[in-house]
Amino acid sequence: MATRTKQMNRPTNGEKSLQVLTPLEKAPTGVQGLDEISGGGLPKGRTTIVCGGPGSGKTMLGLEFLVRGAVQFNEPGVVMAFEESPEEMARNVASLGFDLNALAESKKLFLDFVRVEPNEIEETGEYDLEGLFVRLQYAIDAVGAKRVLLDTLEALFSSFANLGILRSEIRRLFGWLKERGVTTVVTAEKGEGTLTRHGLEEYVSDCVILLDHRITEQISTRRMRIVKYRGTRHGADEYPFLIDERGLSVLPLTSLSLDHQVSTERISSGLSDLDEMLEGKGYYRGSTVLVSGTAGSGKTTLAAQFAEAACRRGERCLFIGFEESVSQVSRNVASLGIDLHQWVKKDLLFHRAWRPTQFGMEMHLLRIHQLIQSLKPQTVVVDPITNLITTSTQREVRSMLMRLIDSLKEMGITALFTALTKGGSNLEGTEENISSLIDSWILLRDVEQNGERNRCLHILKSRGMAHSNQLREFLMTGDGIKLLPVYIGAGQVLAGSSRLAQEARDQAEAVARKNEVERKRELLESKRRALQAKIESMQAELATEEQQMERMFEQERQQERRLELDREEMAASRKVDSKEDDRAESARGGQ
């Protein structure tokens, strides 16, 4: 940033002087984009020359600088015109919404018209601008002006041929304005090979802005360039600008960079089946999505489904069409159950359509940027970007889309672009060559089989997520879009009637397999029953044998018990006999 130095203390006893650096003061213009490329506005209390050819917008820029200053920044201004009367100026800018007469009545502006006739001016060495200074001083004092517009310089000095006097008077005029501390805009006609007709003003002014209105292949484009700005850094590139019902808009292209923030929030694509292919969560908020495919593959329908999903979430969506009118798109997607008109009535969907041949690339970019600034959408749809190729080169389209994507990412807006691809084998490519700038790329393709064409969907890439790598059949129904699993057989994708035929064959084979399994189950059950009967028979035979054996064992045990009893009886009998024999023997001995 440029600086000025101010002496604070005088050096004493060998001490160094203390200097404080102060930045160059600037007066904000209020013109969208101009303050950004100029680093804050025009040099405050100094003179700025706005030069350009006829119809380039010099007076419009000067008047908007004064009106914005009076309305937005409470800085009254003075308009001193040398070619148009205040009434003519007021009518010219009324279409921009600027009411100069109302501002003049409220003491915000002072409108003055100085008629200068070249044949009435006699150029002498004593010619000066004292009369002009008196009128300017009166106007400045009348409203307490902080800003001044002089329109145009050529009308004031048109009869001067002596460059010495001319340069002296211009320098004197600029010096007088600087002494009053007013921020001044002076308009000037572009000269042949020079910025201004006299070629001198740019050397005595502090800032020079060049406006250009060029025609390329019957396409009109307005451009702005800050040629000179003393004491400060500024954008030196050419910037497209637009004049419409809201005034001037400048798109500061060089300010865009890769330092935007990213979000981890996920939003629906509008199709639950597609969300499932995207980890079941959809796209990242603030990301850029490309839907490419051949003609009739369903790109616009998928874009409409995405826009409707955004509106259902209560988000504002800007839908820009380069191919079909608003009513045509609404009618076509209504047959699929997508009602866009209801969201238009609720001020959630803003559908705009214009031909790509209407503007050049920069003007397309500027108009989209202006719509985004005024509508503040959360999602943007551009359908299709391919039509832009018809009005510009591939390099220009890629440059424009790159700047648009960077701008959308900077603002955290989720964007969906559609692109037409040519038939053939090279489907994974676009004429605009922007695939590397895209976060998620969805390819819609046609599969030709059995005399019919069927749509399929494939996610080529989706950064930051483990997306599905499967093909899905893309069906348009009265209830919206449906994604169905496709059949893959004999090295090719089966869809449509081929898929139905394959499903029928699979079902027949499944029935046959089921019947075969049932037959084998019944056979196995029969064998099981036979084996079970045989087992039961053997078990019964074994039980009979076990019973017979048990009876034999019981008989044997009874026989053993009888034998034991017999032995016991015999033993007892023997003991009785022995005692009797003893008594008999004793009796014989006593005798």
Instruction: Of 165, 90, 80, 78, give the one whose Cα is nearest residue 121.
Output: 165
d(CA 89, CA 251): 26
273/420 same-domain check: yes
Task: Give the residue ranges of DSSP H helices in 1-126.
Answer: 34-37, 58-72, 86-94, 100-105
Instruction: Please check whether residue 380 lies inside any domain of the structure.
Output: yes
Q: Is residue 213 domain-shared with residue 117, that is, in the same domain? A: yes
Q: Are residues 88 and 166 in the same domain?
A: yes
Our count of domains for the chain comes to: 2
- Please tell me whether residues 371 and 245 are part of one structural domain: no
Residue 188 within a domain: yes
283 with 180, same domain?
no
* Residue 261 lies inside a defined structural domain of this protein: no
Return the SS3 of 302. Answer: helix
Instruction: Answer yes or no: do 270 and 370 share one domain.
Output: yes
pTM reported for the whole predicted model: 0.66
Distances (CA, A) of 444 to 333, 419, 489, 588: 17, 10, 20, 141
What is the pLDDT at residue 246? 78
Q: Which two tokens stand for residue 37?
A: 């490329």
In this predicted structure, what is the pLDDT of residue 422?
Answer: 73
What tokens were used for 441? 């790329």
Q: Are 350 and 327 within one domain?
A: yes
Whether residue 236 is found in the same domain as residue 330:
no
Cβ–Cβ < 8 Å for 319, 499: no
CA distance 38 to 61: 14
Residue 237 belongs to domain with CATH number: 3.40.50.300
Please tell me the number of Cα atoms within 13 Å of 175 on its side-chain side: 7
Q: Quick one: pLDDT at residue 490?
A: 53
State the helix-helix crossing angle for 326-334 and 299-312, rounded to 10 degrees.
Answer: 90
Beta-bridge mates of residue 291: 418, 442
E-strand ranges in 469-516 read: 472-477, 480-485, 487-489, 492-494
Q: Does 418 reside within a domain? A: yes
Residues 368 and 494 in one domain: yes
Q: What is the DSSP secondary-structure string of 111-124? A: EEE----GGG----
Q: Domain range for residue 340?
A: 266-499
Tell me what pLDDT residue 459 has. 92
Give the pLDDT score at 556. 86
248 shares its domain with 271: no
Domain for residue 111, yes or no? yes
Give me the tens of pLDDT residue by residue for the chain, a chain 591 residues long.
Answer: 344 444 444 444 444 444 556 778 999 999 878 998 898 999 999 999 999 888 888 999 999 999 999 999 999 999 998 888 888 888 888 888 889 999 999 999 999 988 766 555 444 444 557 888 899 999 999 999 999 999 887 777 765 666 667 777 788 888 899 999 999 999 988 877 777 766 666 667 889 999 988 777 666 778 899 999 988 888 888 888 888 777 888 876 544 456 778 899 999 999 999 999 999 999 999 999 999 988 888 899 999 999 999 999 999 999 999 989 999 999 999 999 999 999 999 999 999 999 888 877 777 887 888 899 889 999 999 998 888 877 677 777 887 888 888 889 989 999 999 998 876 555 565 656 777 889 999 999 887 767 677 888 989 999 999 999 888 888 888 888 888 876 665 555 665 666 667 767 777 888 888 888 998 989 999 998 899 999 988 988 888 888 888 888 888 888 888 888 888 888 787 776 666 666 666 776 665
Do 290 and 432 share a domain, yes or no? Answer: yes
Domain final residue, candidates 447, 464, 499? 499
- For residue 386, being part of any structural domain is answered with yes
Q: Indicate if the alpha-carbon torsion angle 429, 430, 435, 439 is positive or negative.
A: negative
Helix axes 58-72, 86-94, angle to 10 degrees: 80
